[in-house]
Amino acid sequence: MTVQPDPNVQSTLKRERIRRVKVRRRRTLLIAFILLFSSLFVINSEPFKVKIIEVSGAKRTSAEEVYKRSEIEIGESLVTLPVGEIRGRIKDKQPLVKEAEVRRELPSRVHIKIYEREPFAYVSDSLGENVYLIDAERFVLEKPKGIADPKIFHVVSDGVQHAEVGEILEFPFHDSFARICDSLERALHGKYSKLVFNFGGIKLFLNDGSYVMLGDKPDDDIEKKILLIPVIAKELNERKLKFAGLNLSELAVPTYVKAE
């Protein structure tokens, strides 16, 4: 015997399903409205407006200058603050800043932390009259009257082009400066004091007073020459051969100059 479904029951169940769907929709719309209203309230609420801007990490750069470059207005909404754009503005308009972090701190504080470019080398002419303090990317950090910190690497060149603080310094072979310095650090770990960068040749001075001739210009073998310095120096020392300098101008035929 087959039981036929009751049409009245089916109709009632259908109406109940439709009613439940409508209730869920109304509830969803109500929640969305509440969230939207709450968001608008928070955005425009006085407690969530910028009242304090804190800058940290400024040494050569003034905190006031960083604040000015950020273009943050006191009283604007902390919630909608364009953090990425602010970070970009600070970096683009303040060349002494290498990196910047911008954080919202509820309810009304903005914290800007900057990372300034670090001193890497002094660059001067052979007379030491025009001195620049630069970072590893050749940005001028200062224009001191002399070399204040002898522990910082010194580059000497008679072809230094004039530059102001925040600009990139140019001198002979500056395009090869980064890879040469990287090779020096890998090979000698800071045991060098001065590098002469002139059109007449490249000459390196080590901390022990000896020197190394590296050729007329930065050729394809410049990194190999630099990496060879500690190897040759060790071999000469093991043979108890005192040397005043090394000549690596020709990589295939390295020579040394005896110390007097």
Q: What is the pLDDT of residues 102-129, one digit of tens each?
A: 999 988 999 999 999 999 999 998 888 8
Q: How many domains does the chain have?
A: 3
pTM of the predicted protein model: 0.75
Condensed to tens digits (0 to 9), the pLDDT of residues 122-181 reads: 999 888 889 999 999 999 999 999 998 988 999 999 889 999 999 999 998 898 999 999
- Do 96 and 158 fall into the same domain? no
Residue 17 has pLDDT above 80, yes or no: no
Contact call for residues 124 and 156 (beta carbons, < 8 A): yes
Q: Specify the residue for token string 């108890």.
A: 240
- Do 53 and 175 fall into the same domain? no
What is the extent of the structural domain holding 150? 121-258
Q: Which of 99, 116, 133 is the endpoint of a domain? A: 116
Is 247 among the domain residues?
yes
Q: Specify the residue for token string 């005192």.
A: 242
Instruction: Supply the CATH number for residue 211's domain.
Output: 3.40.50.11690
| Amino acid letter for position 191 | K
Contacts of 257 by beta carbon, 8 Å cutoff, 6+ apart:
243, 244, 245, 246, 247
Which stretches of the chain are assigned E, i.e. beta strand? 52-56, 97-105, 109-116, 121-124, 131-134, 140-142, 153-156, 192-198, 201-206, 211-213, 243-247, 255-258
Average pLDDT of the segment spanning 55-59: 94
Question: Structure tokens of 250?
Answer: 């020709």
Is 5 among the domain residues?
no
Is 1 among the domain residues?
no
Is 198 among the domain residues?
yes
- Do 81 and 125 fall into the same domain? no
